[in-house]
């Protein structure tokens, strides 16, 4: 098959969960099919990243958009009032991409694969191909949570209005697809509850077992959180952890240190780290593995968000003991007390971290069980094989 793979951002470097997933799905598809990647890029100097994708056997058609990484400001929100599209979808409307999609229509692709809901409006310009949506999250759930967290009354009303538009747009789009890839049974159930058809299949996230492997360097009393810090579920989760969980841990273990590893941390987190020698906020790093390797406990204190967390799979693959909220490990076939510890209240979360710090034998047992789980179910090789089977079903 000839496949057009449409993405909002070039999936390299592999510095976010979305890019990691897109990269490995591209790799799997290119092993069996002729694949062209049509994607926005933020700057011409990303040419090196093009080469990394082309090395997979993928043809890259970049569309330059220097504004792609800028947040939507108040004027953008006001301009969106007259649009049927949610504000975060409208952001990706770009004339050059429309023109490139028009050229692609002349190439006779069999399938158009859309990474993320935000690029879905472009698919409607390609009616002759089978349409595939890779739904990394249920975006309406995230939009609703944004509205719930907004303290300002007027802004909250605008965000609730945007959430309703997102819900309508997302479910309408899912219903129009030939195939939708959800990353968990929970997300598939959410789509199904809105009666959008039975074309939703689960294709979980995976992990590169060759790259994320156990290594030495563990440090006593060390914890780590890894995640893109420009994504609200991550920033809200770690703020909550620092404010409510970290003090409880330090009542018992005053030597406990926490590293927060991920790109674009908000300034208030950096300010907190400047006042706390036991709190490290790294920003972008070339390699997250040394930070994971030195941790005794890997923390996933997420309170909302969709999809499944690649961060947990990476921690499992590196042989780390994990403490997560229920939502943080949602969509992964892991069990409390067997693969990790699950805790939701600040008191329970702190107690779980302290338990692991005090019992190295428990850390080792959980880590061994979790490593077996990812090797059996979550390698990108096995995920790729299932993706190819999904595509064969389209024929």
The domain locations on the chain are 2-206+380-394, 222-377
Of the pLDDT bands very low, low, confident and very high (cuts 50, 70, 90), residue 5 is: very high
Region 115-134: mean pLDDT is 86
C-alpha–C-alpha distance, residues 65 and 44, integer Å: 10
Look over the chain and give the mean of its residue pLDDT values, rounded to a whole number.
91
Q: Choose between 43 and 391: higher pLDDT.
A: 391
pLDDT recorded at residue 125: 66
CA distances from 122 to 50, 77, 233 (A): 22, 21, 27
C-alpha–C-alpha distance, residues 259 and 250, integer Å: 15
pLDDT recorded at residue 146: 82
Of the pLDDT bands very low, low, confident and very high (cuts 50, 70, 90), residue 222 is: very high
As given in the structure block, the two tokens for residue 274 are: 């400047």
- Equal fold, 2-206+380-394 vs 222-377: yes
Q: Are 32 and 388 in contact (CB under 8 A)?
A: yes
2-206+380-394 CATH pick, 1.10.10.10, 3.40.50.2000, 3.40.50.300, 3.40.50.620: 3.40.50.2000
pLDDT recorded at residue 105: 81
pLDDT recorded at residue 60: 95
- By CB atoms closer than 10 A (0-12, 13-18, 19+), residue 328 is buried
pLDDT recorded at residue 127: 63
- For the question of whether the overall pTM of this predicted structure is more than 0.75, the answer is yes
DSSP lists the bridge partners of residue 322 as 298
157, 162, 166, 169: CA torsion to nearest 10: 120
Region 326-347: mean pLDDT is 94
Region 173-191: mean pLDDT is 91
Give the CATH fold of the 222-377 domain.
Rossmann fold (3.40.50)
Is the pLDDT at 351 greater than 90? The verdict is yes
The model's pLDDT over 159-168, given as tens digits with 9 standing for 90+, comes to: 899 999 999 9
Is the pLDDT at 4 greater than 60? The verdict is yes
Q: Is 138 left (phi over 0), alpha (psi -120 to 50) or beta?
A: beta
Of the pLDDT bands very low, low, confident and very high (cuts 50, 70, 90), residue 75 is: confident
Percent of the chain with pLDDT over 90: 69
Rg (CA), the chain: 21
Is the pLDDT at 97 greater than 60? The verdict is yes
């Amino acid at each position: 098959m000839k496949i057009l793979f449409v993405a909002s951002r070039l999936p390299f470097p592999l510095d976010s969960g979305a890019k990691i997933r897109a990269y490995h799905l591209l790799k799997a598809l290119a092993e069996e099919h002729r694949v062209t990647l049509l994607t926005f890029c933020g700057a011409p100097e990303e040419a090196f990243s093009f080469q990394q994708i082309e090395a997979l056997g993928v043809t890259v058609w970049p569309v330059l958009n220097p504004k792609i990484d800028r947040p939507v400001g108040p004027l953008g929100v006001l301009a969106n009032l007259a649009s049927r599209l949610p504000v975060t979808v409208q952001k990706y409307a770009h004339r050059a991409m429309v023109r490139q999609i028009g050229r692609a229509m002349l190439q006779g692709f069999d399938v158009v694969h859309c990474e993320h809901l935000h690029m879905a409006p472009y698919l409607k310009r390609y009616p002759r191909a089978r349409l595939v949506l890779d739904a990394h999250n249920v975006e309406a759930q995230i939009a609703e949570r944004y509205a719930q967290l907004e303290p300002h009354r007027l802004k909250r009303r605008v965000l609730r209005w945007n959430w309703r538009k997102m819900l309508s747009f997302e479910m309408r789009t899912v219903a129009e697809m030939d195939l939708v890839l959800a990353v968990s049974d929970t997300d598939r159930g959410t789509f199904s509850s809105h009666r959008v058809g039975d074309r939703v299949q689960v294709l979980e996230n995976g992990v590169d077992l060759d790259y994320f492997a156990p290594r030495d360097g563990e440090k006593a009393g060390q914890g780590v959180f890894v995640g893109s810090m420009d994504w609200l579920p991550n920033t809200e989760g770690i703020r909550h952890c620092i404010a409510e969980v970290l003090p409880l841990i330090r009542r018992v273990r005053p030597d406990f240190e926490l590293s927060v590893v991920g790109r674009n941390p908000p300034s208030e987190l950096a300010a907190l780290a400047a006042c706390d020698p036991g709190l490290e906020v790294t920003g972008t790093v070339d390699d997250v593995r040394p930070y994971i390797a030195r941790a005794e406990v890997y923390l996933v204190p997420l309170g909302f968000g969709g999809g499944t967390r690649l961060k947990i799979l990476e921690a499992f693959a590196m042989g780390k003991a994990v403490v997560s909220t229920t939502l943080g490990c949602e969509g992964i076939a892991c069990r409390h007390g067997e693969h990790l510890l699950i805790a939701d209240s600040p008191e329970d979360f702190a107690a779980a971290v302290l338990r692991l710090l005090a019992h190295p034998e428990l850390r080792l047992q959980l880590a061994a069980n979790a490593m077996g789980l990812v090797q059996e179910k979550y390698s990108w090789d096995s995920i790729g094989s299932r993706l190819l089977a999904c595509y064969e079903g389209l024929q």
